[in-house]
Amino acid sequence: MLQYPGFNPIAFELGPFSVFGHELGPLSVHWYGIMYLIGFAAAWLLARYRAKRPGSTWKAADVDDVVFYAMLGVILGGRIGYVLFYGMEFWARDPWYPLKITEGGMSFHGGLLGVIVAMIVFARRQRRALGDIFDFTVPLPGIGFFTGRLGNFINGELWGKPTTVPWGFNVNGEVRHASQLYEAFFEGLLLFAVMWWFTSKPRPRWAPAGLFMLYYGVVRFGIEFVRLPDQHIGYLFGGWFTMGMLLSLPMIAVGVALLVYAYRRGQPSGNLAVAQ
């Protein structure tokens, strides 16, 4: 058994500040926000590195633009998705709840939908094939998933079920699965390694996107078995089926469909100008 140390979610404070003589107090910088910044910075650096590969059709300016669009998609989609998937009860009581970002979290599945919309807009503006954009970007968020789940661990949130395994964490007198760390590894580091390796060689258009959807959907569905659902939602049915599982099933189906489509059609990726 491991003892959870109880981290301070605030990394540091700036200030206090005052505006026109009105004291605003200090600005608290949270570890969770820092983890998001690290994730976005890692995605930008990795994309810049990939854009330099021989034959790449991506320029540095393209990378800057696509990362900016992705950031908007993650932040807006993640928050909106959390409210729609997990926070409708709170929204019904408080019409300003969606704007109260300190009173609720971010949804991965909402962030994914937000990124999909953002990439559609980017594809139209850049006149690029949508499949190429997804295939180029799917290796990038793994580090961000890793750091984001570390942020959840630091915040002491999203704990798993009670357990007797020796690597469980003692949290307020009860030993629980550290489902945040499971997700950090399997949905973060391992996902990054798999997608970076898979996209290091030419693949049919839509194949990387399909593998990403299938991998994440399967892993998230599995981890939900040891992760506790949101208290105000609970299990949807059967005492085991969660909202996370429900939202992961379409990812699995879309992932399989994209892989079958990609390899049957065998269309070369437009991300590399060299012969494939």
pLDDT band of residue 276 (cuts 50, 70, 90) is very low
Burial class (CB in 10 A: 0-12, 13-18, 19+), 126: middle
Tell me, yes or no, whether 150 lies in a domain. Answer: yes
Residue 187 lies in a domain: yes
Confidence class for position 98, pLDDT limits 50, 70, 90: confident
Q: pTM to 2 decimals?
A: 0.88
Instruction: Locate 259 and state its tokens.
Output: 């892989």
In a domain, 234, yes or no: yes
What is the domain range of residue 221?
2-10+31-265
The alpha carbon of 23 is separated from its chain's Cα centroid by a whole number of angstroms, namely: 36
What is the number of other CB atoms lying within 10 angstroms of the CB of residue 23?
9
Q: Considering the domain boundaries, does residue 273 fall inside one?
A: no
Question: What dihedral angle (degrees, nearest 10) is formed by the CA atoms of 172, 177, 179, 182?
Answer: 130
At residue 99 the predicted structure's pLDDT band, cuts being 50, 70 and 90, is low
Is residue 26 in a domain?
no
Long-range CB pairs of 47-51 (<8 Å, 24+ gap) are 47/136, 47/137, 47/140, 50/136, 50/139, 50/199
Residue 178 burial (CB count, 10 A) = 23
pLDDT, position 6:
92
At residue 15, the pLDDT reads: 77
- Number of domains into which the chain is organized: 1
Is residue 275's pLDDT more than 90?
no
Nearest to 121 by CA among 194, 68, 162: 68
Q: Is residue 19 part of a domain?
A: no
Residue 18: inside a domain: no
Instruction: Express each pLDDT in 135-191 by its tens digit.
Output: 999 999 999 999 999 999 999 998 999 999 999 999 999 999 999 999 999 999 999
Does residue 249 fall inside a structural domain? yes
Mean pLDDT of 17-33: 79
Structure tokens at 47: 């994309």
Q: Which residue has the tokens 């879309």?
A: 254
Instruction: Give DSSP secondary structure letters for 3-30.
Output: E-----SEEEEEEEEEETTEEEEEEEEE
Q: What is the pLDDT of residues 179-199, one digit of tens each?
A: 999 999 999 999 999 999 999
